[in-house]
Amino acid sequence: MGQFLHEFFSPLDFIRSVPTVWNGFIFNIKLMLAAEALVLPLALLVAIVRGLPGRAAAPFRALAIVYTDFFRGTPLILVLLLVLGFAQLNYLGLNSEALFRVGLISLVLVYTAYVTEVYRAGIESVHPSQRMAARSLGLSYMQTMRYVVLPQAIRRVIPPLLNDFIGLQKDTALISIIGLTEAIVLAGQYVSDFANQTAYLVAAVFFIFLTIPLARFTDHIIRQRERRERAQMA
Amino acid sequence: MSTNGSHFVSLQGITKRFEDLEVLHGIDLDVGEHEVVCLIGASGSGKSTLLRCINLLEQVDAGTIVVDGQTITGTKVDVNRLRQKIGIVFQSYNLFPHMTVLQNVTLAPRKALGISRGEAEGRARALLRQIGLEDKADEFPDRLSGGQQQRVAIVRALATEPKLMLLDEITSALDPQLIGEVLELVRELAETGMTMILATHEMSFAREVANKVCFLDAGVIREEGEPDQIFSSPREERTREFLARVLEGGRL
């Protein structure tokens, strides 16, 4: 038992490995912020394209469907390896900046596909009578989307969207497999250098502390909406 | 007013199908400028569909519609421009819940007509003042009663200064005590000379404001005429039956 506690919960190793793991964790945070900033608008774009009406838009709709099906169905780890392989066609021995881009592109490709579906569910949840009312006032299709459908849709999907972002934050750890020195890699180095597993616990704590604010924020938004809806019923 | 050639709205042979269900079978209808035409008939008789065809929310399968001298059933019709000239109000208000009353009313003038925000808001407030709801301008629709919401919906439709108003059973979703305020607004609108086509179950109101009443039955206009004639001495058996049923329901 003592052996186990020492191996995983050694206070000394905990404190000693914090700076090391933190150095790598900065990468995870950067990657997460950059990916989220790109996923939000890109997924919205794909969701809008997927909903475009008319025969002329059919090829674009098809493209959007193929894209979301492919990247939602492919494990992130495979996408990472494929993007890495693609990047290595031009340069062997990628520097950390290039590896960061590989990780970013992979995360964006996969999570844009997820978030597209979240947006789409939101867009479809807006009652058709809202579109009809907007169109009957002489607003164009795009104006109707911009001013009437999307504001209502986005408000509704914020909780599931934040949930996907929690997944994204955790998945930044997967970039360790392409050799980028992020939190997990550095924790692993500490573990092999000092023959003590506590550094992994440190990494876990970092990830948990990153996702907790987002999780509580999601709860807060859901509660706020419930309160508003109850107030409407009264 | 409704002499030939001066019709503001003219429908000929309007046919509309949903899948294999034909809901309108060759409707002919003329509405003169400043006229108020009431469509009466049972639910499912095609009143709403007909109104939606007139502002192209529904595509007709056959027939022609001419509004203000423009044939709108052909190709190359700018539907957005057309709809700015034709206001429609729905049974379920359909206000935009994420916008204040003022934003609801100014959206189309600003974005569809390109009027500046200041000017659009000035006009919107003037319209809201006319209906006694200026103090609700900055409220969200869910803070308003059903009657107030429906009056805002009418004002929203009026904000693009349409020449024709289509009212689709606008009091059907309202509590009885709220119907009066909405009908009063429609009455005022009729007095200003607005051309209107309204589908309604309010028979006494139809009798009072309409220049012409059309009885729709299974997708055709079974009978049309002056309100007094339709309500007092209907010629068609089906019209008599319908009015008798409605009378039993205490709606006249």
Give the CATH number of the domain where residue A206 resides: 1.10.3720.10
Q: Scanning every residue of chain B, which has its alpha carbon at the shortest distance from the alpha carbon of A228?
A: B142
Lowest mean pLDDT among A20-29, A127-136, B39-48, B119-128: A20-29
**Tokens at B155, concatenated:** 């004002």
Secondary structure element (H or E) that encloses residue A130, with its range: helix A128-136
Q: Are A196 and A41 in contact (CB under 8 A)?
A: no
Interface test with B, best of A132, A136, A152, A158 (most B CBs within 10 A): A136
Separation in Å, CA of B224 to nearest CA in chain A:
27
Task: Identify the band that residue A234 occupies on the pLDDT scale cut at 50, 70 and 90.
Answer: low
* DSSP β-bridge partners for residue B67: B9, B70
Q: Average pLDDT in the B82-98 region?
A: 94
Q: Does the pLDDT value for residue A228 go beyond 80?
A: no
Chain A positions in Cβ-Cβ contact with residue B96 (cut-off 8 Å) = 130, 133-134, 148, 152
Q: Average pLDDT in the B110-124 region?
A: 95
Tell me the CA end-to-end span of chain B in Å, nearest whole number.
27
Q: Report long-range pairs for B213-217 (Cβ below 8 Å, ≥24 apart).
A: B213/B37, B213/B38, B213/B40, B214/B29, B214/B37, B214/B38, B214/B39, B214/B40, B215/B40, B215/B41, B215/B239, B215/B242, B216/B39, B216/B40, B216/B41, B216/B45, B216/B46, B216/B47, B216/B50, B217/B41, B217/B42, B217/B45, B217/B242
Task: Identify the band that residue B250 occupies on the pLDDT scale cut at 50, 70 and 90.
Answer: low
Q: Scanning every residue of chain B, which has its alpha carbon at the shortest distance from the alpha carbon of A141?
A: B80
| A115-143 pLDDT, tens digit each | 999 999 999 999 999 999 999 999 999 99
* 3-class secondary structure per residue, B35-104: CEEEEECCCCCCHHHHHHHHCCCCCCCEEEEEECCEECCCCCCCHHHHHHHEEEECCCCCCCCCCCHHHH
Q: For chain A, what's the residue count?
A: 234
Out of A129, A134, A138, closest to residue B81 by CB = A138
Query: How many domains in chain A?
Result: 1
Mean of per-residue pLDDT scores for chain A: 89
Out of A129, A143, A147, closest to residue B90 by CB = A129
- DSSP-derived 3-state class of residue A105: helix
Q: Average pLDDT in the B184-210 region?
A: 93
Task: Identify the band that residue A36 occupies on the pLDDT scale cut at 50, 70 and 90.
Answer: very high
Out of B92, B98, B108, closest to residue A137 by CB = B108
Q: Average pLDDT in the A161-190 region?
A: 85
Q: Does the pLDDT value for residue A14 go beyond 60?
A: yes
Say whether B88 and A232 touch across the interface (CB within 8 A): no
Task: Identify the band that residue B2 occupies on the pLDDT scale cut at 50, 70 and 90.
Answer: very low
Q: Does the pLDDT value for residue A233 go beyond 70?
A: no
Superfamily (CATH) of domain B7-248: P-loop containing nucleotide triphosphate hydrolases (3.40.50.300)
User: Whole-model pTM?
Assistant: 0.87
What domain range includes position A116? Answer: 2-233
Dist CA B234 CA B215 (whole Å): 10
Rg (CA), chain A: 22
Q: Average pLDDT in the A145-159 region?
A: 94
- DSSP-derived 3-state class of residue A110: helix
